[in-house]
Amino acid sequence: MANTTMAQIPKINPLYRLQWEPAQNGHVLLYPEGMVQLNGPASEILTRIDGQTDVAQIIASLQQTFPEAEGLADDVISFLEDAHEQNWITL
Amino acid sequence: MSKTGLPCSAQPVTLGAGADIKPTSRPLWLLAELTYKCPLQCPYCSNPLDFAGVDTELTTEEWITVFKQGREMGAVQLGFSGGEPLVRKDLEELIAAARDMGYYTNLITSGVGLSEKKVKNFRSAGLDHIQVSFQASDESVNAMLSGSEKAFKQKLKMAREVKAQGYPMVLNFVTHRHNIDQIDKIIELCVELDADFVELATCQYYGWGFENREWLMPSIEQLRHAEARTQAWREKLAEAGSKMKLIFVTPDYYEERPKACMSGWGEVFLTVTPDGTALPCHSARMLPIEFPNVRETTLEHIWYASNGFNHYRGFDWMEEPCRSCSEKEKDFGGCRCQAFMITGNANAADPVCSKSADHHKILASRKTNAQFKTENEAEFVYRNHKNSSVFFKQR
């Protein structure tokens, strides 16, 4: 996926469930008999994926929350491509 | 994804292989063995040999209390297993209660006793995932191993229904001498059924599997062939853009270092057996240790304070060569059950390890078992109530 565009609308793969775990104080992705513990940036991005919001809007929303962040667009796209590769999301 | 399958495949499990999860002292994985009853008689079942001696089962309310206590402690994956969990009439109610608490709910089943209606109703109740276990890719071997002629067709039908209802699907094949050479057919079947994850778990030797070692163990040539074919399939699937994941588990009898069993004793897993006994792994009942029961105390006390769960935590219990071994933090000395079964000493190094003084027993087992060339199915000790009663009386 080297050509992720701003207009694409990512969706969480229905194989996975994104959930807040109070005991772990973090978000996790649950899948058959397994779990991925997400770090802060990964949760910030994945929780903005709702099947309606496009990549540009996700980046804008993050930029609003983290106004001081530099190179955010590249980081987000690179994460989404990785998440797609991992099969966590569809694009 | 489990690295080595779940109890119905007679395997210990690793949570989230490939995922970024560190062992935490929290029962992230709660395995509910709802019943020892099962319509099949697989000769590698991990249930205790003397299960016939267990004649009580936790009630619906007792299970729900266990789930609640587990969830409060941070448990997140819940497996409904057995025996055959479909035997429990309250399964749908248990699924609904668990999903409502926020668990990711897994049903580990042979598919025997499942129906379109149940697949649908369980989905409505909130079931997240159904794992269907297969004994082989064709009817005759499947029938031989499970003791049921009809089972194979039923499994295929149910696997299709599971996909149709939108569940993620994990197909589990326990492989051994009688089916491992069919690896291509097995994978073809998984492609055809559109599985999301496939576990090709070479049978390990616990419970009934230990009794039937000499009839189950593949030769090294069989094993290498199957590994090579699996790798070839991975490449072929990747090329075709398939997302299906193939997980191949080598039997540890062919390793030189032990597995980090259960990701460490009392680190991640908690199994509750049909009668409420709580175990750090589903095989641990065989050990000469007293384990607590959920009917008598809370899960929190069991996890943090019981002697059974604290017994093999840390490294102080270790004997040589584990105690001074540089790899002890990696594999925790291997599997306690295997050490006990093969050496008679549950504190010993897992004899799979080449540093173990008993490693020659594993080597001898490989050699002995490779000598059997005829498949005389009548030699299996099938996992059924009659055979179990014999083991129960011997105790």
Per-residue model confidence as pLDDT tens digits over B112-152: 899 999 999 999 999 999 998 887 666 666 666 666 667 78
Within a domain: A77: yes
Q: What is the pLDDT of residue B376?
A: 54
Report the distance separating Cα B324 and Cα B308, nearest Å.
Answer: 24
DSSP state of B42: -
* pLDDT of A39 above 80: yes
Give the angle B328-B334-B336 at the CA atoms, nearest 5°: 125
Give yes or no for A86 touching B (CB within 8 A).
no
Summarised one tens digit per residue, pLDDT across range B24-62 is 578 999 999 999 999 888 888 888 888 888 889 999 999
Q: What per-residue confidence (pLDDT) applies to B240?
A: 94
Answer yes or no: do B77 and A17 touch at CB < 8 A. no
A3, part of any domain:
no
Closest partner CB to A34 (pick from B16, B24, B74) = B16
CA distance B33 to B284: 13
Q: Which residues of B touch A90 (CB under 8 A)?
A: none
- Of the listed ranges A75-89, B19-33, B84-98, B358-372, the least confidently predicted one is B19-33
Q: Assess if residue A46 is contained within a domain.
A: yes
Q: What is the mean pLDDT of chain B?
A: 86
Mean pLDDT of A4-28: 93
Question: Is the alpha carbon torsion for B284, B289, B295, B297 positive or negative?
Answer: negative
Q: Kindly determine whether residue B128 and residue A30, on different chains, have CB atoms separated by under 8 Å.
A: yes
Partner A contacted by B240 (CB < 8 A):
no
Domain span at A28: 11-90
Residue given tokens 């797609």 in the structure block = A84
**Residue A21 to chain B, least CA–CA distance (Å):** 8
Within 8 A of B74 by CB-CB distance, chain A residues are 21-24
User: Given an 8 Å threshold on Cβ–Cβ distance, is A31 in contact with B74?
Assistant: no
Say yes or no: A87 contacts chain B, CB-CB below 8 A.
yes
User: Residue B41 in contact with residue B383, Cβ under 8 Å?
Assistant: yes
Q: Is residue A27 included in any domain, yes or no?
A: yes
> Looking at the 3D structure of chain A, how many domains does it have?
1
What lies within 8 Å, CB to CB, of B159 at 6+ separation is: B111, B132, B169, B171, B193, B195
- How is residue B127 written in tokens? 């079931």
Point out the residue among B19, B73, B102 whose CB comes nearest to the CB of A34.
B19
Alpha carbon separation from B160 to A29, A85, B130, B190 (Å, rounded): 25, 26, 11, 11
ipTM for the assembly = 0.89
Give the separation between CA B272 and CA B298, rounded to whole angstroms: 12
**Within-domain flag for A64:** yes
A10 in helix, strand or coil?
Answer: coil
Cα(A31)–Cα(B271) distance, rounded to whole angstroms? Answer: 19
CATH of the domain at A17: 1.10.10.1150
In a domain, residue A4? The reply is no
B13, two tokens: 């499990």
- Categorize the per-residue pLDDT at B14 as very low, low, confident or very high, splitting at 50, 70 and 90: very low
Q: Is B3 on the interface with A (CB under 8 A)?
A: no
Residue A69 lies in a domain: yes
What pLDDT, on the 0 to 100 scale, is given for residue B6? Answer: 37
Q: How far apart are CA B100 and CA B94, in angstroms?
A: 10
Structure tokens at A20: 């807040």
**φ and ψ at B182, to 5 degrees?**
-90, 20
pTM of the full structure: 0.88
Contact B319, B325 (CB under 8 A): no
Q: What's the pLDDT score for residue B10?
A: 33
pLDDT at A89 over 60: yes
For residue A2, being part of any structural domain is answered with no
